[in-house]
Structure 1
Amino acid sequence: MPNIASILKAEISRVARKEVRAEIEILKKASALHRSSIADLRRQVRGLEKELRRVAKSSARSRLVDAPEASESGQARRFSATRLAGHREKLGLSAAAYGQLAGVSGQTIYNWEQGKGRPKPEQLQSLASVRALGRREVAEWLSAK
């Protein structure tokens, strides 16, 4: 005759395994549902990032188109950091000296050349007037100061 203790122990183990299996099935279903929703969210984030890049690119293009400010003569004024740096080098001037000509500080000229800032419309006017000057005129103007 089997031992009652071993039968009781076996039955308790069987019932415990059955309960654990049921709980694990619930957790597996919840885990699969969570993974599915995470994958959906990742796809949604990827789509939104793609849309954001597209919008940022189109807004950058529209800023370039809208960027030229109109002067009093009705002529559009555009600003290019590389052209500013090239003109300053062509004249052989320091940023401080070029800033004196344009009516701003040398640090401002440096920031504009580095792309850290953009000139205001009235500053664009003064830059345009400096751009019209040649080496001799700049040297005369700086020596007069």
Structure 2
Amino acid sequence: MPNIASILKSEIMRLARKEIKSEIESLKNASAKQRTEIAALKRHVEQLERQSMRSIKAAARAKGEEFQPSEGKQLRFSPKRFASMRKKLGLSAADLGLLIGVAAQTIYHWEAEKTRPRANQLKAIAEVRGMGKRQIKARLEALQAGIQETTSEA
């Protein structure tokens, strides 16, 4: 004959599971509804952003100006692409740091994903990215000549 305590315990567990299941079901439904609402809001925001961008471009065209998307866009940074850009240009970390206005160690930290560049540094990186090898070489020579002048004066 089974123990009355074990029967009572199993019945209490069964009822508790049944209650929990009904409570969780309503939470699942609410969560699913919220997820669909969030997705709809995201789509709406994207649509509004596209419309806004179109109107900005149209206004710029009406004024006779050329639209420059870099003004409204956030600059992105990828350590791997940054390192490959540096190698492609044939620059040392010290040279690239000189162009951007940071130390060579900072360049290594960016490439190793230890730190990320600040907003003003991202602008300088974008500026360097838009330059050719000849422009970079000329600018480096000018910067190094300026450094040599300041060190010889001191």
Q: TM-score, normalised by structure 2?
A: 0.47
Which of the pair has more CA radius of gyration? 1
